[in-house]
A and B are shown apart, each in its own frame.
Chain A
């Protein structure tokens, strides 16, 4: 009985959870440091967070493409699927923190955001790698609870508190739905491990199909709320408008990417074998999300709400590849769909955070997020106006930008799977999107500035964030092949 006792050494844990340890450990450290720093030095705490994120991303990139590692009879798996989502999450968090550092308006974020964002990011990373119902749910709640606080972080602002309250109530109802659905999954599968449940269900589907569809319904509703798929999207514009702008960018990118990872992991591993019977639901959800999200943006006057509705529409595009190929029995189609989702997430990250960065600066200068605040921006700051134009055109899908190539890849996936109608709706809704983005472009380039003509001065940090996002948007649009090669070479689930 030499092997009866197995000790868990730190190096075992480090091998599988290194990036997460850096992020969450860093969050605790910053929390302590921030407490004892004098008020004049508190501004270094976000830079410590930047340091933790860079270190974590470095560890992650070094390990990309290594063999699959599992941890704790596998509650935790380090495969390429999780790694690529973690990479997106880390880069997006880095850009968001830089944006928050750049935002030095009168009502700036309290420095608590630096570790709250790291906790949320830790949760998002755990979701990407968790293969156990407990791990997945704990990660999801860590992300959600930290996000509730982040939204309500402007303690003096009524809109921020209201947005936080709405997000908290809707989000916790969604969490409860997901948990209730997962409890049935545990009951039928007899284990909390996704792989084990998948094996047990191969015989279980015939006996327990009713209860399994019930659990699928609850989990789908909960996830639908969290990523704002259309019938459950009504909270999105309100919360995005109330939240501080960097937090809005965080919710729009990191939160969505992480919950999408949860969705793909659970639905591919557990419910995947009966895809033919529920795949149409995803296709229809994707279609109404694209249509309603893009049409809902048309009557809006507040740029933050326009971007919120546009981000709802983008979720439709992100669901589309999965809906299109799920019924295919070819594994290759599935990998192609996953790489198109990951590529679009990269593109979506750069253009969305870029647009929110410009919006944050313009709204700060005019103390308004209305479309009128953008009037004559070209005169007041040619740089910001040009960059905003690039991000909006990319979101709409103009050729030579990342948004176009991402949509084109999604279209190809739908086309190869023979789901032509999905591809047609993708391009039809993009045409609608052009209309409301042109409203902002027109205000920036053709109208006279409303009010003073003073130039908008952007801080160096803001210029760096905007330039990085613009670089990403253009690079993925003009030369997408390096990222495509990386994505095509991945072994998604090991």
Chain B
């Protein structure tokens, strides 16, 4: 991933305003607090609430459910 680490640190969930966790594959940002997952597409995090994936759905799609 080419996302700047320092800038990733200031990124927060638009709902909870809490810090996000980067997924292992580097393609998603996870908010445990609001239970929402945000995609990273072409190095641009998609921080739109309308486009966020519910955490349980995302875990299932990742084979973790």
Whether A and B are associated in the same complex: the answer reads no
Give chain B's interface residues, CB within 8 Å of chain A.
none
